[in-house]
Structure 1
Amino acid sequence: MEERHGPGISHWWRYGPPGWNRSAERAESRPAGLPWRSTVLITVFVLVGSNFAAHGQPHREPLDGYARVLLLLASLMLLWRRRHPSAVVFGTAAVTLVYLGAGYPFGPVFLTVAVGCVSAVAAGHRRAAWAAVGLLWAGHVLIALWLYRWLPPAGDRSASVTQEIVVATWVLAILALSELARVRREQWARERADRAQAAQRRADEERLRIARELHDVLAHSISVINVQASMGLALLDSDPEQARSALTTIRAASKEALGEVRQVLDTLRAPGAAPRAPAPGLDRLGELVEQAAAAGLTVEVLGEPPRLPPGADLAVFRIVQEALTNVVRHSGSRHARVCFADAGGELLLRVDDDGPATGADAGGSGNGLAGMRERAAALGGTIEAGPRPDGGFRVVAVLPAHTREDQ
């Protein structure tokens, strides 16, 4: 059935409704493209800027076709700066060094090396970036202080120490900018990872909440149904009317269970959609007592149920429901007491039965007690559960004062 009608509930819990994150899926499945737009802009800037720079440096070699090919080659290499950052930074440095060795004017050609260096450092190839920029600077010093005698332009003079200090300053500035880009990128990656972990934690907590709700609803309702079914089978021949009453109770309990399960599963709908029915609370304590009575358990409520905020109201209701479910399933007593009291500003909830215990897991040794403890802990309270000296069983919940609506 699940294959015919699409992903099941478990898939929905984990990955969200169909189309929930379709854009992210497409982005992850799409291969990384080449940065055409930025590379075209850099190429135009380098070519046009070099023409303007040549007018102010008449003592250098004029820009010719060979110079423009070098400028174009250094710029177009940046298309692969994301896929092969180390090769690109070395390539742009080598082409720039050839350009300088040919005696062409200084200008925006250094921008290609700067972009390649920033990309390499940001991608984690720090040594390659530093080595490429260092080799370019060393080659420039070699040309400016020694090889200028044999390289164009004719009559070129040695560079001064001040000029080399300026060049070294620019090199350090490029490296510093690259490191800054790397640090910022790592910070963004950490922030994305933290957001993803927080989202995963929220999803896990929501799945745990839904599972706990389903357990509480189903455990209580199925316990009532089990007791009534056993009674109906026993009385089917001797007392048909009593058996009919048991079947009626089963139908009502199953209908209510289906309604509550549907309400819990409504939380899996699209975000922002309001639940179709209010969450149960202590205002439905009377219904809970009636259900227990239908299962043959007389419940006496002592004290006035407090007014609580919605979340605390649901949690206390589920604690009472689970405690009564344990009495129905694991106790031979047909009488239970639910007591609400104010203990020093704290809300005290106590559920007692008179025993005796029945079965090896009497008192509840499964997920029920663990669920009650989790609900109490979520409110900042505690749960104590265990046998009483007189043979009965007691569940005591102590909840802080801030859970009360009137505090």
Structure 2
Amino acid sequence: MREWSLWAESRPPGPPGRGPRDWVLTGVLMVAVLAEGLLRPDVPARVATVVMTLALIPALLWRRERPLLMVVIVFGVSWVVPLFTGHQPELISGAFVLLLAYSLVRWGSGREIVAGVALILGKIGISGLTGAIPLSEVIAGFLLMCTLFALAAAMRFRGRLRARELDQAKLLERERLARDLHDTVAHHVSAMAIRAQAGIAVSRTSPDAAVDALRVIEAEAVRALSEMRTMVRALRGGDPADLAPSPAVADLAELAGPSPEGPRVDVEFTGDLRDLPPTLGTAIYRLAQESVTNARRHARHATRIGVRVHGGDAIVRLRVSDDGDGGPVRSGGFGLAGMRERAALLGGTCDAGPDVTGGWTVTATLPRSLT
């Protein structure tokens, strides 16, 4: 088992980009610095301190993408400027540097964390040794920074754990889809074997019937190849599990009606849903089943769940909605991630969110033809 090393730690994936909240935070801090500079004439080297702080605040905008560089710039400048002014910065609003220290541990690599933490704690320690700040403030600074670093490390671990669980949910959905695909491919192969046996039996007495059997075999082979391509994309290792018959779109009717587990379910089929590939039918069923289960668990005050499947010329649409309270995301689980993964593997999309008319709606769009 490989030993963990902070030095070899890589950056966490997917840090949030700069958004409106970052710009608002920067603007609010700048206003706070100006206000404090005007209202506190007792601040030593007030003009230089205010100008320096205003110039450093925009570093917050890059605190996730370049955490070490921003720490070096801000803490380096705040270390050098007192050499010229003779005073330590004393603006309360200058506490924004704590956000940089947090972002360093939360989003930096192991090497960046080691270098940045050494710089931050070194600055505090040297300031205490030179008498620039009293010993009590040195101790308080060390405790504050260590607490901040621990909080950032905890959030970093939490983010990694959530990403790992999300990957596991996607993997499980791939394996589940692969098992469903196994059923449909086995069905096609069985049909080919039966037709081949029939063709052999009638080949001498009825050549036309034998030709018809070959045509059916050809069609089944094309479908089986299409299913196999999808299976290869979906399967990610592991031994096959015990298989049960795969459900189809028509099986959604079993969900209809009142239920002791939650609101009543109404199922509606429209458009052309004939001759759907078995994999597509199973995917529609699984997506609808998961959506109904989530609605029964999380839809507050819901009295009805509607399931509508529409078959178009090129796509099949699924819509599952309830008349509950709606609102933000109802669950922190990974059911929706698995649904999106299943839809994406078949070349489609799946989205969920509050409906403008109230309640919660899940929509999925899948192509009729699997390539």
TM-score, structure 1 normalization: 0.45
Q: Which has the higher contact order (CA 8 A, sep 6+)?
A: 2
The structure with the larger Rg is 1
